[in-house]
Amino acid sequence: MSGSQVWVVTGASRGIGASVARLAIEAGHEVALLARSEAVLDLAESLGARAKGFQCDVANRESIDTTIEAVAAAFGRIDVLVNNAGVHRGGKLPRLSDEAWQEVLQVNLTGAMTMTRAALKHMDAGSAIVNVGAVVGFRGFPGDAAYASSKAGLSGLTKALAIELAPKAITANLVIPGLVLTEMTSGLSEAALEKMNGQIPMRRFAEEREIAEVVYWVSQSRYMTGANVPVDGGLLSSFGVT
């Protein structure tokens, strides 16, 4: 792709999604920022004329369809879709409720599929889909059955999309962040964070911008599709996962 692109970023009100949106705007692109929170509207306004915020619940198909049509009406097309929205509900199986399990899968996996299906109506050859995974989708952690399952499923979805969309010259890849200090991890104790940090070969957490830079690079790669791209400080390699 060349020239100005139209990006759609889900889960864009904070964290990695907001960082991806900022980077795309800095690169001269137009960005539709999607999130459930009203905060996404304020963030988009602060980012200037190239940004537009949309309140969207990726767990709701009607909300997705309505939002994508509004994005297409505002920008005319979609060149890059970043499926970043996610929720985390922890708990080992005896304590993991059916409601929590369904919520995580609905947002993290079904939401990405539904968003992609809606966006594809407005994507042409040269477009890109970047899904945001997680290390736990490839290496198990106790108490993360729902989140790990959703992210492992997202890897499978990405590979299937890559094969389906290759004849249309639309790429689909998975970026796998390591441990990032975001609002999602802010509730962890200092002891837990220290233990997690000790497992990372580079001995530090990632910055949101570092993840965003890889998301951006992947979106611009025209011959890579169906790839899992870790950005994890060597974490998966330390577990023997490639």
Residues noted as catalytic: 147
Tokens standing for 150?
A: 């959703």
Cα distance between residue 26 and residue 31, in whole Å: 10
The DSSP letter of residue 180 is B
Tokens standing for 51?
A: 């940004």
Task: Work out whether strand 228-231 and strand 171-177 pair parallel, antiparallel, or are unpaired.
Answer: parallel
Where are the extended beta strands (E) located within the chain? 6-10, 30-35, 51-55, 80-83, 128-132, 171-177, 228-231
The DSSP letter of residue 173 is E
**Chain centroid, CA 57 distance in Å:** 14
Cα distance between residue 115 and residue 109, in whole Å: 10
Distances (CA, A) of 164 to 24, 157, 181: 26, 10, 35
